[in-house]
Amino acid sequence: MRIHLIAVGTRMPSWVEEGYGEYAKRLPRECGLALKEIPMAKRQRNSDIARLVADEGQRMLAAIPDGSHVVALDVTGKQRGTPELAAALEQWLAGGRDVCLLVGGPDGLAPACLQRAHERWSLSLLTLPHPLVRILLAEQVYRAWSIVQNHPYHR
**Is the distance from CB of 38 to CB of 63 less than 8 angstroms?**
yes
- Check whether 33 is labelled as a binding-site residue: no
Question: Positive or negative, the Cα torsion across 27, 31, 32, 35?
Answer: negative
- Check whether 108 is labelled as a binding-site residue: no
Q: Is 107 exposed, middle or buried (0-12, 13-18, 19+ CB in 10 A)?
A: middle
DSSP tag of 46: T
- Check whether 123 is labelled as a binding-site residue: yes
Angle at 77 between CA 60 and CA 66, to 5 degrees: 35
AA identity, residue 37: E
- Check whether 109 is labelled as a binding-site residue: no
- Taking the C-alpha atoms of residue 35 and residue 3, their distance in angstroms, rounded to an integer, is 9
- Check whether 73 is labelled as a binding-site residue: yes
- Taking the C-alpha atoms of residue 79 and residue 121, their distance in angstroms, rounded to an integer, is 6
- Check whether 136 is labelled as a binding-site residue: no
The annotation places the binding site at 73, 104, 123-128
The annotation places the binding site for S-adenosyl-L-methionine at 73, 104, 123-128
